[in-house]
Amino acid sequence: MIRVLIADDQDVVRLGLRTLLENEPDIEVVGDAADGLQAVALAKQFRPDVILMDVRMPGIDGIEATRRIAATPELADTRVVVLTTFELDEYVFEALRHGASGFLIKDTKPVDLLRALRVVAAGDALLSPSVTRRVVRELATHPARTTRPHPQLHTLTEREREILVLVAEGLSNDEIAARLVVSPATARTHVSRAMVKLGARDRAQLVVFAYQSGLAG
């Protein structure tokens, strides 16, 4: 059973999401929050598998709520999916940087939202290769870009560093395997090792770390 917390300041949005999710036999809505502070409190109380987090909320916004949740040790297994109005709005990268596992557009079709929830609950990042490429391209051209190499970047092997760059380019494991002429299993292993060494919660944070370290773009 996938346990979900909904956080959105609009009553109609929360009701709509709850109605959709509660019709699924493998999904349980454990609670809903109308602001960021309530979202953090309910996350600590219920420890959901996935949180659907709106960005613009009173109290503290969804980005700060995500940061607090990601920084809470007992919520290490909770994944946050940010709900945004535009695919590449100004908040997307900040949300990923602070621990979100991906993002969804608010007008996402119900079938796609349900699929996305299951993807995230299974431990994968909700960043398709095409979306990753667009995000990185947008970030790379941002005038305020600053480079802050990850403190553990030096622990990566040459191959793991190469893998990190390819992940940031938006390549899937199969595409990485084809590019490097290795098996998909080997590619997955390298990605996993890079995640462990850099302390990344998921693939989305690998993209963030690569960008911040000046390896992407």
Residue 40 sits in the same domain as residue 105: yes
Give the three-class secondary structure for 62. helix
Q: Domain containing 54: what range?
A: 2-126
Higher pLDDT, 74 or 215: 74
176-187 per-position pLDDT tens digit:
999 999 999 999
Alpha helices (runs of H) in the chain, residue ranges in sequence order: 11-22, 36-46, 62-70, 92-97, 110-121, 129-140, 158-168, 173-180, 184-198, 203-212
Euclidean distance between CA atoms 166 and 2, whole angstroms: 31
CATH of the domain at 155: 1.10.10.10
Q: What is the pTM of this model?
A: 0.75
Euclidean distance between CA atoms 158 and 200, whole angstroms: 18
51-87 per-position pLDDT tens digit:
999 988 998 999 999 999 999 999 988 999 988 776 5
Task: Provide the domain count of the chain.
Answer: 2
Euclidean distance between CA atoms 27 and 32, whole angstroms: 14
Inter-residue contact 163 to 205 (CB < 8 Å): no
Q: Examine the fold and report which residue of 126, 161, 185 is the final residue of a domain before the chain moves on.
A: 126
Residue 78 sits in the same domain as residue 167: no
Inter-residue contact 126 to 101 (CB < 8 Å): yes
Question: Where does the pLDDT of residue 204 fall: very low under 50, low under 70, confident under 90, or very high at 90 and above?
Answer: confident
Q: Examine the fold and report which residue of 96, 126, 156 is the final residue of a domain before the chain moves on.
A: 126
